[in-house]
Amino acid sequence: MKRQGNNPHIRPLMLCATALLFALSGCKTSRRLTVAGEPSSVVKEAGEFFASIGERSFHYRTLSARTRAELSFGGKELSSRVDIKMVKDSVIQLSILPMLGIEAFRIEFGTDSVKITDRMNRRYAAESYARLKSGMPVDFNLYNLQALFTNNIFAPGEREVTPRQYGRFTLRRDGAVTEAQIKGGSRILYAFRADGEEKLLSTKVADASERYALQWIYDDFRIAEGQIFPMQMEARAVADGATAVELRLYFSRVQRDVPVDVNPAIPERYKRIDLADIVKGINQM
């Protein structure tokens, strides 16, 4: 299989697909609160902040959702119904149904790899996270991705944010807004912004120059299954300071802890192909 790291056509899809991943911060702040090495009162404040963020995130064992997705890149505008199925800490499955409720493509994130299946042409592509990350400086995994879909904070490459990791974050206050920042490898900065109720509003992953970034923004918070959930999400991939890819998700149905049918098996008759060929199929659609 050819290496995809430098392919200009695969990069936009993988930025929004594998990241369907990261998000927005933004402005400088008036008061800085550093956790590491600070007095116990500051550490306690950080603990309370992360606990509050966790309480306000969406809790589930399984998640089933229906969305309308709009994808813009390279002068193209694509729109489709997308069904989302998630089994916590196990799998995320995106079914793309562009017409008549018929699944055309499926994107599946497992614990160690991503698969894209072209149902119409009976073919598929698969790649490990390790190989994908070898072409990108961003550290990510299934657990980080599911945090994005469920409005939660995460530590890059980790399974969850634990008290032992609080010292890696820097908290900044600006009025009612709190920004939590953490550095990943290759000088990549992850920033999470929360409102006065400590409800996560956005996530951002950017390099030091901010020429390249991935932003994930949450909006239209409503009560779903007894919990607050952002019914609109927007992901933007920024390259050379300009938006290169934009993905908007509009949720119409959200269910949690209901049985979900997630079958990761690829039919034997399907042919394994290169990721770039899958992208060509989506473009032609």
Predicted pLDDT at 274:
83
List the domain boundaries for the chain: 19-260
Predicted pLDDT at 1:
40
Predicted pLDDT at 128:
86
Predicted pLDDT at 283:
63
CB 233 within 8 A of CB 38: no
Helices (H) and strands (E) in the chain, counts: 5, 15
Predicted pLDDT at 284:
64
- Mean pLDDT of successive 10-residue stretches along the chain, which has 285 residues: 39 41 29 42 68 89 96 87 96 91 91 90 89 69 92 89 87 90 85 92 89 91 94 92 90 95 86 80 63
Residue 5, helix vs strand vs coil: coil
Token look-up 């073919």 returns 123
CA distance 267 to 154: 34
Fold that domain 19-260 belongs to in CATH: outer membrane lipoprotein receptor (LolB), chain A (2.50.20)
Predicted pLDDT at 137:
61
